[in-house]
Amino acid sequence: MAHHPTKTRILDTALHVIRSKGYTATTIDDICVASGMTKGGFFHHFNGKQDLAIAAAQHFGDMADNLVAHAPYQSIEDPLFRLLGYIDFRISILKGSLPQFTCLLGTMLQEVYETHPAIREACNQCINAHASKVASDVALAKEYYMPQASWSAEGLSYHIQAVLQGSFILAKANGGPQVAAECLQHLRHYIELLFEVPQPEENELP
Amino acid sequence: MAHHPTKTRILDTALHVIRSKGYTATTIDDICVASGMTKGGFFHHFNGKQDLAIAAAQHFGDMADNLVAHAPYQSIEDPLFRLLGYIDFRISILKGSLPQFTCLLGTMLQEVYETHPAIREACNQCINAHASKVASDVALAKEYYMPQASWSAEGLSYHIQAVLQGSFILAKANGGPQVAAECLQHLRHYIELLFEVPQPEENELP
DNA sequence: ACAATAATACCAACCAGTCGGTAGCATCAT
DNA sequence: ATGATGCTACCGACTGGTTGGTATTATTGT
């Protein structure tokens, strides 16, 4: 928190560059050029490339937490509809270029999960922290509407994260977010079915 | 098809090494050492690293298609239960080390989608080909059981692929496949709910 | 003055790709 | 048959450029 402004600028740059090129292909010089910094300055703020990755993961987590914490859907009182609001919100931010809305954590995990355990663990903690926040709404909704259900709030929350991560991969494969949005609509539908939300009538047009 | 045996050996090695370290971090020397080949030999069979990646994507697609084509669930006649058999099969192969069951296409897409369009397109085609095969069973099941439903077979098929890909990311984050299996159970449950498969009784133990 | 911060110059290791060459095998003219 | 020819598969030293990281010096804020 309350980082040095230059450090924050480097981290913001890292979020974008790493999401564009992946962790390994991102060079420290890339970050330096894109953030208007020199190598000497970079190594004053970070011990090395792996240190940057770990800090970037936490920075990304902070940014994401902040984004959802202040999203308009948070004012919904019913936890089930707040959960659905979360899904709708995640759909609504599938805009702009792919590096803008894809997940740094998923990107880095894919390449370094075996070679850089420290980065893997940092990403894992950020994902778990985010999943926990979603899980608290899931737990409230479950307790209120489906207290007997056999699935766990944590498990459903991880499923939600899996669909999000998988949607990003399909978006990257396709070059655009349309398929991703459709996948998240299926996720929304699943939650509606799980909680037995009344479905709108299938209108047969005259 | 019917590659030179040495070329096949290199490709098999590439599947494992790239899934372990990612595309960028994999060096041609890594592949050569692991496959008992020299650099000269490698460049006799491949034009370069990107050429290897594209061939490896197709090789992975062939391997995966072959795997599901001969899986036991294919003998199920009802397309809906064959579809559920597919999910169960995907759950059942979440065994061994992560590089053995994770997806090369998703791994490579995450890092190179923007920097190597040719690799992105090769991965995209393999995913689409696989999704199409699943979609044909989805379409049969839909026509038979839910012909009025508003969702499309292709869309649901992509959703299935998204959950699979996202599950692999969570498995990498966690260092094991347990969470992934739980996510795929939610996917199975979604399909059961979509098709209104009768759910087993929630037995209250005496 | 004196930290904190940033810039410059530099290095050793590494990596994709090249190049000249060899071993083995098939073809074919004589 | 046999030797000349050429083709495929393979080898391994080498190169030019890149990369993560360091050592040193300069600037800035207080």
Per-residue pLDDT tens, chain B, 206 aa: give them: 457 888 999 999 999 999 999 999 999 999 999 999 999 899 999 999 999 999 999 999 999 999 999 999 999 999 999 999 999 999 999 999 999 999 999 999 999 999 999 999 999 999 999 999 999 999 999 999 999 999 999 999 999 999 999 999 999 999 999 999 999 999 999 999 999 878 775 554 44
Average pLDDT, chain A: 93
Helices (H), chain A: 5-21, 28-35, 39-45, 49-69, 79-92, 98-101, 104-112, 117-145, 153-174, 178-194
- In the DSSP assignment, the letter for residue A201 is P
**What sign does the dihedral B100-B105-B108-B111 (CA atoms) show?**
negative
Whole-angstrom distance, CA of residue A8 vs CA of residue B133: 46
- The residue whose two tokens read 């498969």 is B197
Which residues of chain A neighbour B179 with C-beta distances below 8 Å? 158
Q: Are A158 and A131 in contact (CB under 8 A)?
A: yes
pLDDT band at A7 (very low <50, low <70, confident <90, very high): confident
Residue closest to A123 by CA, chosen among A53, A198, A186: A53
B165 vs chain A: nearest CA distance in angstroms?
5
Q: List Cβ neighbours of B157 (8 Å cut-off, separation of 6 or more).
A: B131, B132, B134, B135, B138
Output phi, psi for A195, to 5 deg: -95, 10
pLDDT of residue B202: 52
CB-neighbour burial class of residue B176 (10 A; exposed 0-12, middle 13-18, buried 19+): middle
Amino acid at A147: P
Interface test with A, best of B18, B112, B183 (most A CBs within 10 A): B183
Lowest mean pLDDT among A27-31, A118-122, A201-205, B28-32: A201-205
Alpha-carbon dihedral of residues B152, B153, B158, B162, nearest 10 degrees? 90
Position A6 scores a pLDDT of 84
Widest CA span in chain B: 72
Number of helices followed by number of strands (H, E) in chain B: 10, 0
**Protein CA at A112 to nucleotide C1' at C5, angstroms:** 31
| pTM as predicted | 0.93
Say if residue A2's pLDDT is above 90: no
